[in-house]
Amino acid sequence: MTPEAPSVPPLPLLDRERSILAFNRRVLAQASREDVPLLERLRYVTIVSSTLDEFFEVRMADVVEAARSIGNGAASNLAALCEEARALIAEQYRLFNDEVMPALQRQGVVVLNHAERDEPQRRWVAQFFQSQVRPLLVPVSLDPAHPFPTVANKSLNFIVRLDGRDAFGRENRIAIVKVPRVLPRVIRLPDELCPGRQGFVLLTSVMRAHLGELFPGRTVEAFSQFRVTRDSDLELDEDDVTNLRQALRSGLTTRHFGQAIRLEVVSSCPDGLANFLLSQFALAPSALYRVNGPVNLVRLNQLIDQAEGEVLRFPHFEPRYPAPGLVANRPLFDQLREHDVLLHHPFDSFEPVVQFLREAVEDPQVLAIKQTIYRTGAESVLMELLLEAARRGKEVTVVVELKARFDEEANINWADRLEAVGVQVVYGVVGLKTHAKLLLVTRREHEGSRDRRPAAMPRLRRYLHLSTGNYNPRTARLYTDLGLLTADAGLTGDAETVFQELASQARLRQPQHLVAAPFGLHKRMLRHLEQVRQAAAQGIATRVVLKANALTDPALITALAEAARAGASVDLVIRGACMLPPGLPGQTERIRVRSVIGRFLEHSRIVYFRWGPGEDEEVLYLSSADWMSRNMFRRVELAWPIRDPLLRQRVIDEALVPYLHDTRDAWELDAQGRYTRVSDSGVSAQAALMRLHSP
The CA angle 479-485-486, to the nearest 5 degrees, is 155
What are φ and ψ of residue 667, in 5° steps?
-125, 145
Which of 435, 465, 522, 528 does the annotation list as catalytic? 435
Q: How many CA atoms lie within 13 A of 311 on its CB side?
A: 6
Q: Which of 222, 226, 225 is nearest to 160 (CA)?
A: 222
| Strand 341-345 with 479-486, pairing | antiparallel
Distance CA 84, CA 79 (A): 9
Distance CA 543, CA 571 (A): 8
Identity (one letter) of the amino acid at 567? Answer: G
Q: Which of 121, 547, 164, 120 is nearest to 111 (CA)?
A: 121
Distance CA 517, CA 503 (A): 16
Distance CA 647, CA 344 (A): 11
The DSSP bridge partners found for residue 464 are 440, 486
- Tell me the CA distances in angstroms from 163 to 172, 279, 597, one per residue in order: 9, 22, 51
435 noted as active-site residue: yes
Identity (one letter) of the amino acid at 359? Answer: E
Exposure letters 289-318 (e unless 16+ CB within 10 A, then b): bbbebbbbbbbbbbbbeebeeeebeeeebe
Q: Which of 553, 597, 567, 561 is nearest to 581 (CA)?
A: 561
Instruction: For helices 38-54 and 16-29, give the axis angle rounded to 10 degrees.
Output: 160
Instruction: For helices 72-95 and 61-69, give the axis angle rounded to 10 degrees.
Output: 150
Distance CA 363, CA 528 (A): 42
Sheet of 186-188: strand order equals: 109-111, 198-202, 186-188
Exposure letters 364-391 (e unless 16+ CB within 10 A, then b): eebebbbbbbbbbbeebebbebbbbbbe
> Which residues are designated catalytic?
435
